[in-house]
Amino acid sequence: MENSHLTTLEIDFNAIDFNLSFFKKKLKKNTKILVVVKAFGYGSDAIEIAKHLVSKVDYFAVAYVEEGIALRVAGIKTPILVLHPQKQNLDKLIKYQLEPNIYSISVLNGMIESVEKAGLSSYPIHIKFNTGLNRLGFSEKDINMLHAILKPQKNVTVISVFSHIAASEDLNEREFTLHQINLFNVLYKKLMDELEEIPFKHMLNTSGIINYAKEAQFDMVRLGIGLYGFGNDSIVTPLLKNVVVLKSIISQIHTIKKGDSVGYNRAYVAQKTTKTATIPIGHADGYSRQFGNGIGFVYINNKKAQIVGNVCMDVIMVDVTNINCNEGDEVLVYKNQNHIEELSEAIKTIPYELLTTISQRVRRVLKNC
């Protein structure tokens, strides 16, 4: 049945296109582009984003196998890199022609076994080196073992080698980042010493493209948050177009007297006659409970309205004492990049988390698609 929830996340595809070209302009003409659509396309709509971009990008990436399967089922034929596959679902990964990040010997052995079982050969894999993030990937000591496993077999072919920068947005860490880039080059060469194929290389995420396109552009880049309008940088973000707007409406307005309380645990007690608006979005929609009690704010008729009391599971109440408004009026819960950045800072997190936690209950509305 069609979702008729009045709390919606508008996704502007003109803005997506604009942001993609913004990053393309920073790259050499033949650098491949991978667009990261993990976590529902950073909380937007991975399938619609992928469908929209099929002819404009070279690769998609997701975190988990199931996310890749969802794209394949929707008809996406573009190569899909799975950033964090696990041994338990490699058969499924192969069935849907997804390409694994191979980050450990055990995943490599599992992959060769699964490909053999499927009766295939030269299955494309991507080797990841850990150059300092210490999350996933091989290090120098693994290279002999990689050679020993890869050389005698025909099941898998290394088509790319990659790594991930720990602090690409932080220029205070430039020295560390240059060390990561250098180490990546060294490890790549060592791996190449005994491989027949010549895999392509990639290292840069959004902030990497902004800060290290000269040093580490290689053959492909992996664009994530930048596509969705954030540059992790006060200069770049304003140059990008806003992609998502989280919207709702006023369900009811109350005028309460001095001493009356609002919401669970009576967390807010009015000091004077106060007008409140109730809005159908709560922590179950991904609106953090940390926004309660004046930390978060929404926009109603171009004015800021603070959250009063605790954020409920399904609703918030906001102070509209000084705002001319009526039931049914539009509420901008996340108005634009600036608003999302301010709110993120207020609860000590980053826009990535605000975007990706918008729950699936919120209806997605596609604009300029």
Closer residue to ligand PLP in complex, CB, 64/297:
64
Radius of gyration, CA atoms only, the chain? 24
Q: Which of 225, 246, 316, 358 binds ligand PLP (CB under 6 A)?
A: 225
**Among 38, 128, 247, 335, the one annotated catalytic:** 38
- The number of angstroms, rounded, from the C-alpha of 363 to the middle of its chain's C-alpha atoms is 18
Q: Which residues pair with 247 in a beta bridge?
A: 8, 332
Q: How far is the CB of 192 from ligand PLP (least distance, A)?
A: 21
Beta strands in 50-134 (DSSP E): 59-62, 80-82, 99-102, 123-128
Please state, in angstroms and rounded to a whole number, the distance separating the CA atoms of residues 193 and 178. 23
Please state, in angstroms and rounded to a whole number, the distance separating the CA atoms of residues 203 and 331. 40
User: Which of 190, 193, 108 lies closest to 155, judged by CA?
Assistant: 108
Q: Is 159 a binder of ligand PLP (CB under 6 A)?
A: no
**Among 117, 264, 303, 367, the one annotated catalytic:** 264
Q: Which of 222, 247, 283, 364 binds ligand PLP (CB under 6 A)?
A: 222
Q: Is 52 a binder of ligand PLP (CB under 6 A)?
A: no
Is 212 catalytic? The answer is: no
Tokens of 104: 């450990």
Q: How far is the CB of 87 from ligand PLP (least distance, A)?
A: 19
Closer residue to ligand PLP in complex, CB, 7/177:
177
Is 87 catalytic? The answer is: no
User: Which of 244, 226, 228 lies closest to 236, judged by CA?
Assistant: 226
Q: Is 202 a binder of ligand PLP (CB under 6 A)?
A: no
Q: Is 164 a binder of ligand PLP (CB under 6 A)?
A: yes
What is the maximal distance between C-alpha atoms in the chain? 80
**Residue of closest CB approach to ligand PLP:** 224
Q: Is 36 a binder of ligand PLP (CB under 6 A)?
A: yes
Q: Is 206 a binder of ligand PLP (CB under 6 A)?
A: yes
What is the DSSP annotation of 130-162? -SSS-SS-B-GGGHHHHHHHHTT--SEEEEEEE
Amino acid identity for residue 251 in this structure = S
Q: Taking a C-beta distance cutoff of 8 angstroms, is the pair 346, 332 a contact?
A: no
Closer residue to ligand PLP in complex, CB, 156/227:
227
Q: Is 161 a binder of ligand PLP (CB under 6 A)?
A: no
Q: Which stretch binds ligand PLP (CB under 6 A): 148-156, 192-200, 219-227, 287-295?
A: 219-227
User: Which of 340, 89, 79, 151 lies closest to 229, judged by CA?
Assistant: 340
Please state, in angstroms and rounded to a whole number, the distance separating the CA atoms of residues 10 and 5. 13
Closer residue to ligand PLP in complex, CB, 61/298:
61
Output the CA torsion sign for 343, 347, 351, 355: negative
Q: Which stretch binds ligand PLP (CB under 6 A): 104-112, 119-127, 191-199, 224-232?
A: 224-232
Q: Taking a C-beta distance cutoff of 8 angstroms, is the pair 223, 32 a contact?
A: no
Q: Is 224 a binder of ligand PLP (CB under 6 A)?
A: yes
User: Could you give phi then psi for residue 367, rounded to 5 degrees?
Assistant: -115, 140
Closer residue to ligand PLP in complex, CB, 36/158:
36
Provide the mask over 64-103, with x wherever binding to ligand PLP is found by CB under 6 A and - wherever it is not: -------------------x--------------------
Q: Which stretch binds ligand PLP (CB under 6 A): 86-94, 152-160, 217-225, 270-278?
A: 217-225
Q: Which of residues 301-360 bind ligand PLP (CB under 6 A)?
A: none
Please tell me the number of Cα atoms within 13 Å of 336 on its side-chain side: 9
Q: How far is the CB of 107 from ligand PLP (least distance, A)?
A: 15
Residues near ligand PLP (CB under 6 A) are 36, 38, 83, 164, 205-206, 222-226
The residues that are catalytic are 38, 264
